[in-house]
A and B are shown apart, each in its own frame.
Chain A
Amino acid sequence: AQSVTQLGSHVSVSEGALVLLRCNYSSSVPPYLFWYVQYPNQGLQLLLKYTSAATLVKGINGFEAEFKKSETSFHLTKPSAHMSDAAEYFCAVSHTGRRALTFGSGTRLQVQP
């Protein structure tokens, strides 16, 4: 079975500060990993995905995530937060041959001026 744990249901940072959102997964086989963002009253938008081609994955809006197999982690980072980054972020995992995503519980990011 696969699962995803997102540490911290709420994260607050100042504008211009580093954003770090944590995601750990459990999987018995090599996973595919995703980060999605959900702005208020909207659907989910893909930020980035791990394809096994490179451990450091760059996504949209300046976000990136690093796959660390030894730590079973896929943390999301952004060097400098913008007010527009305020949203809920979901980490998700899937496997080859599986057609569905397993989501973490989400982390709500607040950006303070």
Chain B
Amino acid sequence: GAGVSQSPSNKVTEKGKDVELRCDPISGHTALYWYRQRLGQGLEFLIYFQGNSAPDKSGLPSDRFSAERTGESVSTLTIQRTQQEDSAVYLCASSQRGTGLSPLHFGNGTRLTVT
């Protein structure tokens, strides 16, 4: 079956512009996560959805970042007024259950470059 799909795969934007990143999780997966990986660093947790509610937004780095999810389907991560430090690969993952016992299935990521 289809895996986690992310779009676009690459995005170059000018500093100060807004961007929207999209994630289509695996069908039937109730949990959805956003991570980012900046150059030379590990995966940084951003936000977690269980269904369409977000019980944990603790990883969002600033109020310029927001995310929403429609039901148990598509999620969008929005970054407003992008800054150069937002440049990273943004990874989406889904899992059947929102517990550490359920491995995450990752998409290929969106590489965001802010110039």
Q: Do A and B come from one complex?
A: no
Tell me the A residues contacting B by CB distance below 8 Å. Answer: none
